[in-house]
Amino acid sequence: MMRWIGRIALLLVVVAAVAGVAAWWVYSRVQAPYRGATDAETLVDIPPGIGPAGIGARLVQAGVVQDAWTFRAAVLVSGRARELKAGEYRFDAPMTALDVVGKVARGDVFKRMLTFREGLTITEMAQVFEQRGFGMAADFTKAAQNAAPIRDLDPTARDLEGYLFPETYALPRNTPASEVVARMVAGFKQSFDEGLRAAAAADGLTVRQAVTLASLVEKETASGDERPLVAAVYRNRMRIRMGMQADPTVIYALRKAGQYDGNLSREDLQFDSPYNTYRYAGLPPGPIASAGRASLEAAVKPAAVDYLYFVSRNDGTHVFAATLTEHNRNVRIWQVEYFRKLRGRP
């Protein structure tokens, strides 16, 4: 009897030792950094609805985890099988299987940069959205046609033209267009804050008027120093009921009609559209592009000058004038004579 007890005790010791060795081996395996891929970075896309086995297979195939068994062991040790999330993940250095599981469980997805520069229209932003691989331009355009997100500030808005804030957004690759648009509207509201809204209201401008004016400023100059001056010109013209006569509004009207070929002619200035500020007095019906913070601020805080005119120096800056006589002289110097010299004419 004692002999059997001894044998059983010995067996238990052996089993315990084997279990201990196995546990140590499993733990050391899932704790060992591994990287089988040779590229500088590895992107792994995990689609929604896929289970731990499928996730492990993708990670093994990409060379992120050594083998399926190691991944299963890491999931078991971590206890996070139900927390694994879909998305695109970036791996650029050796990682332990436990760290890989933790990354996927946290949903630490790789974010791509999506940049919209100032002065773009909805149509142009939609093209950027598609070109950067985030989705179809048509989906972006459709989302931007829904004016509901901005109606608290602009009840008359029919779309989100001018209300999609231009900046760089860090987004997962599969972010839907509707979510991108929502982020951009939120960015606009944060930029055109209560202070700027109060300044606009104090001058008798609605949000729509202020944003429309800012879009003209954005399209007319890229010079930070000039924005308050350009805004002052248009504000002064509004005050005396003088036409805006802004070329960018005509270009916008022609583009909406599919008739802009890249050149603006004298005939185009007569194009019949409420956006054509050569034919219709005052501001156009709405924004013609998305303005940045500097142009939004200039629109409601213009420079204290009496300028009514400006003309391009052909280097991105402008010459300003308070009288038509001054303006005509500037036009002669910077347009007529300047281009005559370029053509080699006396």
- Which residues span the domain enclosing 289? 207-307
The string of DSSP codes covering 174-225 is T--HHHHHHHHHHHHHHHS-HHHHHHHHHTT--HHHHHHHHHHHHHH---TT
Q: Computed from CA positions of residues 303, 283, 252, 262, in that sequence, does the dihedral angle turn out positive or negative?
A: negative
Q: Are residues 285 and 225 in the same domain?
A: yes
- Report if residue 104 sits inside a domain: yes
Could you say which of 82, 109, 136 is where a domain stops?
A: 109
Instruction: Specify the pLDDT at position 346.
Output: 59
Instruction: Specify the pLDDT at position 132.
Output: 92
pLDDT-flagged residues of the chain (< 50): 2, 4, 6-23
Q: Are residues 68 and 93 in the same domain?
A: yes
CA distance 231 to 217: 6
Q: Are residues 87 and 48 in the same domain?
A: yes
Q: Are residues 183 and 119 in the same domain?
A: yes
pTM value is 0.81
Instruction: Specify the pLDDT at position 28.
Output: 67
Q: Are residues 227 and 161 in the same domain?
A: no
Could you say which of 109, 141, 171 is where a domain stops?
A: 109
Q: Are residues 169 and 132 in the same domain?
A: yes
Angle between helices 207-220 and 247-256 (to 10 degrees): 100
Q: Are residues 87 and 119 in the same domain?
A: no
Provide the CB-side half-sphere exposure for 162 (13 A, CA): 29
Instruction: Specify the pLDDT at position 211.
Output: 98
CA distance 49 to 31: 27
Q: For residues 198-211, b (16+ Cβ closer than 10 Å) or e, as one string?
A: eebeeeebebbbbb
Q: Name the domain count of the chain.
A: 3
Burial class of residue 225 in the structure, from the number of CB atoms within 10 Å of its CB (0-12 exposed, 13-18 middle, 19+ buried): exposed
DSSP annotation of 34: B
Instruction: Specify the pLDDT at position 20.
Output: 41
What is the dihedral angle through the alpha carbons of 235, 239, 245, 250, rounded to the nearest 10 degrees? 70
Q: Are residues 263 and 185 in the same domain?
A: no
- Report if residue 330 sits inside a domain: no
Q: Are residues 153 and 229 in the same domain?
A: no
CATH number at residue 33: 3.30.1490.480
- Report if residue 46 sits inside a domain: yes
- Report if residue 312 sits inside a domain: no
The string of DSSP codes covering 104-133 is HHHT---EEEEE--TT--HHHHHHHHHHTT
Q: Are residues 295 and 217 in the same domain?
A: yes
- Report if residue 24 sits inside a domain: no
CB 101 within 8 A of CB 74: yes
Q: Are residues 102 and 134 in the same domain?
A: no
The terminus-to-terminus CA distance of the chain in angstroms comes to 124
For 6-57, the pLDDT digits (tens) are: 444 444 433 443 444 444 556 667 788 888 877 888 999 999 989 999 999 9
- Report if residue 342 sits inside a domain: no
